[in-house]
Amino acid sequence: MDRPRVGHIQFLNCVPIYWGLVRSGALLDLDLVKDTPERLSGQLVAGDLDIGPISLVEYLRNCADLVVLPDVAVGSDGPVMSCNLVSQLPFGDLGGERVALGSTSRTTVELARLVLRERYDAAPDYFTCPPDLGEMMREASAGVLIGDAALRASLYDAPRLGLRVLDLGEAWKDWTGLPMVFAVWAVRRDFLAANPALTAEVHTAFLHSRDLAMAEVDKVAAHAARWESFDAPMLEKYFTTLDFSLGARQLDGIREFARRVAAQIGAPAHALIELFAPAA
């Protein structure tokens, strides 16, 4: 049979999930498709991928067609470092102001809307914009960034320009006491029905890859630093700040987020969160 079509987000926050696939040789068993979070989510929903990462918002919208792989996700239990609202004004003063939404960031966009609306009583004028801080600040009073662009903005550009940074993972944890999950790994329900054993193999490969990477996170960070604008100590801090697990507390966080945003995103009020359970 053909190799399973598996998505791969080309952001630093997914490096630990995929690091060990090369080391174990499991990468050779996958048809790996690299793209942005937004495009990979769309491909999984459309059936152009079999298994892959999907933003939490898109999973909630399409939960009837997808099953979540347990114990693997991208999230945070406090600061996330790379999902930020960057602002020229105090956050409570953004009501009526233009706020640029990074076009690759669906879950973070909804979280930013939620935090501004319910925590800061602010109703900005939102518009989509490429995830470039300079362009955002020319066109708006604030902007939402994720991934590598958000890291650069919070570590380098925002301090240099005197901009305020709201870490949205930290804001969620302070507000609810729960972890925030930004993306899950899911399998299409039709693919799972036809290929339960193969799905289990891919799931096991991801867990092994993640565990291997976190066991030697200093090596992962040093290797990634060769090609990035961040040094190895900073990347090691970033990788160990992120939460790559998906257990009971993370599921509680998903349910709470879904309860608060379901009406805004067009998801079921009580979204089905079905976890893949490999056969014994």
Average pLDDT for 232-244: 96
Confidence of residue 83 (pLDDT cuts 50, 70, 90): very high
State yes or no: pLDDT of 280 exceeds 60: no
| DSSP bridge partners of 68 | 186, 275
Predicted local distance difference test score (pLDDT) of residue 20: 81
The first and second tokens of residue 272, run together, are 């089905």
Predicted local distance difference test score (pLDDT) of residue 267: 83
Average pLDDT for 154-167: 94
Distance between CA atoms of 176 and 78, rounded to whole angstroms? 11
Confidence of residue 27 (pLDDT cuts 50, 70, 90): low
* Position 121, amino acid: D
State yes or no: pLDDT of 276 exceeds 70: yes
Q: Locate tokens 């050779």: which residue?
A: 28
pLDDT tens-place string over residues 69-81 = 999 999 999 999 9
Q: Give start and end residues of each alpha helix (H) in 35-132.
A: 37-46, 56-61, 106-118
State yes or no: pLDDT of 279 exceeds 70: no
| Contact present, 178 and 42 (Cβ < 8 Å) | no
Residue 169's contacts (CB-CB under 8 Å, 6 or more residues apart) are 75, 76, 78, 79, 80, 81, 83, 180, 182
Looking at residue 243, the DSSP 8-state letter turns out to be B
Q: What angle do CA 175, 180, 182 make, to 5 degrees?
A: 140
Q: Give start and end residues of each alpha helix (H) in 119-215.
A: 133-139, 147-152, 158-161, 168-176, 189-194, 196-215
Average pLDDT for 17-24: 80
State yes or no: pLDDT of 253 exceeds 70: yes
- Comparing 99-113, 115-129, 211-225, 262-276, the range with the smallest average pLDDT is 262-276
Distance between CA atoms of 142 and 32, rounded to whole angstroms? 35
Average pLDDT for 109-114: 96
Q: What's the whole-model pTM score?
A: 0.94
The first and second tokens of residue 79, run together, are 């600061």
Average pLDDT for 245-269: 90
State yes or no: pLDDT of 152 exceeds 70: yes
The first and second tokens of residue 57, run together, are 């918002």
The first and second tokens of residue 142, run together, are 């604030």
- Comparing 116-120, 124-128, 178-182, 224-228, the range with the smallest average pLDDT is 224-228
